[in-house]
């Protein structure tokens, strides 16, 4: 089978032919149909991601496909099921073996492309806004990077939770994508002073930040007293340094979120969140935005779309 993988951190990924794996106890083999890309895949290639799996490693953190083989001790009812899997790695291949308890059955009518774009982006935003920040109806949510993979889902989920959503993104085209996802107010990150623009709208109760850098600093200065700031990632490449006295004066709370980290110490947080999200999808309440769908042989091109920030929402790779 084909697999897109790296042999060493910092080196270019390449498409290799590898043996079809066999599932061990408690695992299944999934015939992969689609894999969603994430900014973390770029960090994985560079060796800068918080987890460094043994090399060589097949890229691709989240995938969707059909269970085609079972290891020992696995529920026979999983065979032939359409599932989504958050695997951490292994998704950019024609097949892969994954723990059976990571398999989430897909709602009827959900495409593999939508499922591959779903778990990390929606899961991150739902856990951040619901479990961490306790976003309340009527509060003002400021979303940075609002047209990106996770930012766009924060706009959509924040609106569903009853917040007034301010979307910050670069350029009119990307802001239009955020508006279509439910944003109430739009701010072009390249067009002026973010702090003044947010304060003119009354300030922020919750900030969702997957960008970092100067935007984090400006957003923090636009917070209301007792606001909560969610640190999701650093797409700008700049990790901001926070002066504690600024937090004290406004009674601010800064919360970090590493979604996948919950698997190690509170997996039920993710399980419960995903159950809610898939129910919302089945009810017609969520609409994954996929800007690009490319075949496996164009995976490097797809990663470049993320690297150069030319995608909105998600980029998905298909194996067919």
In this predicted structure, what is the pLDDT of residue 38? 94
Nearest C-alpha neighbor of 143 from the set 167, 161, 126, 125:
167
d(CA 119, CA 51): 18
User: How many CB atoms sit inside 10 A of residue 202's CB?
Assistant: 13
At residue 155, the pLDDT reads 98
Please give the DSSP secondary-structure letter assigned to residue 11: S
Residue 274 CA to residue 269 CA, distance in Å, equals 9
Distance of alpha carbon 51 from alpha carbon 64, whole angstroms: 22
Name the 3-class secondary structure at 115. Answer: helix
DSSP string, 137-199: TT-EEEEESTTSTTHHHHHHHHHHTT-EEEEEESSHHHHHHHHHTT-SEEEETTSS-HHHHHH
Q: What residues does each domain of the chain span?
A: 2-118+288-318, 121-259
Reference 229, options 85, 133, 302; nearest CA is 133
Cα–Cα dist 193/84, whole Å: 41
The predicted structure's pLDDT at residue 30:
98
**Dihedral, CA of residue 8, residue 311, residue 61 and residue 42, to nearest 10:** 20
Please give the pLDDT value at position 320. Answer: 80
Q: Which residues, listed in sequence order, are joined to residue 165 by a DSSP beta bridge? A: 141
Look at residue 51 in the predicted model and tell me its pLDDT. 83
2-118+288-318 folds as Quinone Oxidoreductase; Chain A, domain 1 (3.90.180)
pLDDT averaged per 10 residues in sequence order, the chain, 320 residues: 96 96 98 96 92 93 97 97 95 97 92 96 97 98 96 97 97 96 96 94 98 96 98 93 93 96 91 93 92 97 94 94
Task: Name every residue whose Cβ is closer than 8 Å to that of residue 38 and which is 6 or more positions away in sequence.
Answer: 61, 62, 120, 121, 149, 306
Peptide bond into 56 cis (omega under 30): yes
pTM reported for the whole predicted model: 0.90
Tokens 């085609």 found at: 68
97, 121 Cβ separation under 8 angstroms: no
> What is the rounded CA–CA span in Å between residue 206 and residue 53?
34
Predicted local confidence at residue 191, as pLDDT: 87
Q: What is the CA radius of gyration of the chain?
A: 20
| CATH architecture for the domain at 121-259 | 3-Layer(aba) Sandwich (3.40)
Three-class HEC string of 245-292: HHHHHHCCEEEECCHHHHHHHCHHHHHHHHHHHHHHHHCCCCCCCEEE
Determine the Cα–Cα distance for residues 266 and 283; give it in Å rounded to an integer: 27
Distance, in Å, from the CA atom of 188 to the CA atom of 170, rounded to the nearest integer, reads 5
């Amino acid at each position: 089978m084909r697999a897109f993988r790296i042999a060493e951190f910092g080196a270019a990924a390449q498409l290799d032919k590898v043996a079809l794996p066999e599932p061990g106890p408690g695992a299944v083999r999934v015939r992969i149909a689609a894999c969603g890309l994430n900014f973390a895949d770029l960090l994985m290639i560079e060796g800068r991601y918080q987890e460094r799996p043994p090399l060589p490693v097949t890229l691709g953190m989240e995938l969707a496909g059909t269970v085609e083989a079972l290891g020992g001790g696995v529920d026979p009812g999983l065979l032939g099921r359409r599932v989504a899997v958050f695997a951490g790695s292994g998704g950019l291949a024609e097949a892969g073996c994954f723990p059976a308890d990571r398999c989430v059955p897909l709602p009827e009518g959900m495409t593999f492309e939508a499922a591959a774009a779903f778990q990390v982006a929606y899961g991150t935003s739902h856990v951040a806004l619901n479990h961490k920040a306790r976003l309340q109806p009527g509060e003002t949510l400021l979303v940075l990077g609002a047209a990106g993979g996770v930012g766009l889902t924060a706009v959509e989920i924040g609106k569903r939770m009853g917040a007034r959503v301010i979307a910050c993104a670069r350029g009119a085209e990307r802001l239009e994508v955020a508006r279509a996802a439910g944003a109430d107010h739009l701010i072009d990150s390249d067009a002026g002073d973010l702090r003044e623009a947010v304060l003119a709208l009354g300030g922020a109760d919750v900030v969702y930040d997957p960008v970092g850098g100067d935007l984090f600093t400006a957003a923090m200065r636009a917070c209301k007293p007792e606001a909560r700031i969610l640190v999701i990632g650093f797409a700008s490449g700049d990790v901001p340094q926070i002066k504690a006295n600024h937090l004290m004066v406004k009674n601010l709370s800064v919360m970090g979120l590493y979604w996948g980290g919950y698997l190690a110490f509170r997996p039920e947080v993710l399980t419960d969140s995903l159950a809610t999200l898939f129910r919302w999808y089945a009810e017609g309440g969520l609409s994954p935005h996929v800007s690009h769908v490319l075949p496996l042989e164009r995976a490097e091109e797809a990663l470049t779309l993320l690297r150069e920030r030319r995608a909105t929402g998600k980029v998905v790779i298909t194996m067919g």
